[in-house]
Amino acid sequence: MSLILRLVQGPGSAGHIFQPGINLTALGELLVPTESLEYNWRLVLVKWRARIAGDRREMDVSQVILQKLKELGLDQRALADAAEVTESYISQLLSRKKLPPAPDRTDIYEKIGKFLKLPAGTLAGLADLQRKQELKKKIQSPSPLYGEVRELLLEKCKRDKRRQVRAIFEKEPFGELERLITQKLLDVVKTMAREELGRESWLRIVARESGRSYRQTRVDVLEFLETDVFNITPESCAAFLNPMIVSWNIDLASFGLEIMLNRRIAPAHLKRFEFVEAPVDSVDDGPGLKEFLKDSSLSGEVTPEEIEFLRQLRFKDGRQPTALYYYRELQNLRDPVHFRIK
């Protein structure tokens, strides 16, 4: 059967696919937001070809890669070399033992795409769609940390606080304090790993500190960036948290957290986090908000709740928003199209 495709001009515009004898589902579920119309419609065609062929499983990253390897007569070892990862990692990705990594946390799709001569963004778009589908299926059910993970975190805790923190962890398994500390340690290390992923010299230092090869360390980084507080593993700790974090300390009264990082790996070896309550009355309205509130043509019938929302907006680098900015922000707040209903 042949497919007839009609495109409407403009990124993200609606188009139609017709095929005799087939009752089409909503086209929207097949599209991935992208500025590349060529890629968007290529993806639609790929997915429809899979359905027409009777494959009930959606076309995914693994299928596309395997198909291109077969077409080009290439093997997984060559693909691993091109992506600068281990052959084991590629094998697990293609056998679906691993979920494709998030596109914004890795450069692997760009490397593989170039090697397999795929249109730019193809694999990243498929990975994003696949991850969203998996997320819908996943039921979040927090469970206690692996025993090895908890022990490593406690070993890194300052000695004079260790017994007290351990008692809290054991009394409330995966409670608020344990999640807070674990999440913050993960955030610090993941931020550094994400920033340094493209720097080979940094990866080699981490590899030396953790006793692993450069290529294995690169794979470990990609996997670590997928880790969250609910699924952190002992392997992730051994590869990154252990060599990167020297120690941490917490003030149990204010929940101020201090993290000491390995000087050989981290440019800034000391991180401090404070949790301070600020009274609402101390918030300065600023000239833009004051002008907005005085101008009835802009503020109109703004409610106290809306004013409170606008007052809580924060801006970095000393930027001062104008009255027009607050007007547009108010319209965004009032427009139901910008919010999802649970």
Q: Give pLDDT tens digits along the chain (342 positions).
A: 333 333 333 333 333 333 333 333 333 333 333 334 444 444 444 444 444 344 434 578 999 999 999 999 999 999 999 999 999 989 989 998 888 888 877 889 999 999 999 988 889 888 888 887 776 665 444 455 567 888 888 999 999 999 999 999 888 777 788 888 888 888 888 888 888 888 889 889 988 888 888 888 888 888 888 777 777 888 877 778 888 899 999 988 888 899 999 888 887 788 888 766 555 544 567 888 988 888 877 887 888 888 888 888 887 777 788 888 888 888 888 877 767 765
pLDDT at 27: 34
DSSP string, 224-235: HTT--TTT--HH
Residue owning tokens 């674990």: 182
Q: From CA 90, how far away is CA 271, in angstroms rounded?
A: 35
Residue 43: Cβ-neighbour burial (10 angstroms; 0-12, 13-18, 19+): buried
Residue from 218, 33, 28, 226 nearest 134 by CA = 226
For 24, the token pair is 């089409």
Is pTM, for the whole model, over 0.75? no
pLDDT at 277: 57
pLDDT at 34: 38
pLDDT at 42: 46
Q: What are the extents of the domains in the chain?
A: 4-137, 147-273, 281-338
pLDDT at 54: 41
Residue 111: Cβ-neighbour burial (10 angstroms; 0-12, 13-18, 19+): middle
> Is 16 strand, coil or helix?
strand
CATH number belonging to domain 4-137: 1.10.260.40
> Is 259 strand, coil or helix?
strand
pLDDT at 30: 38
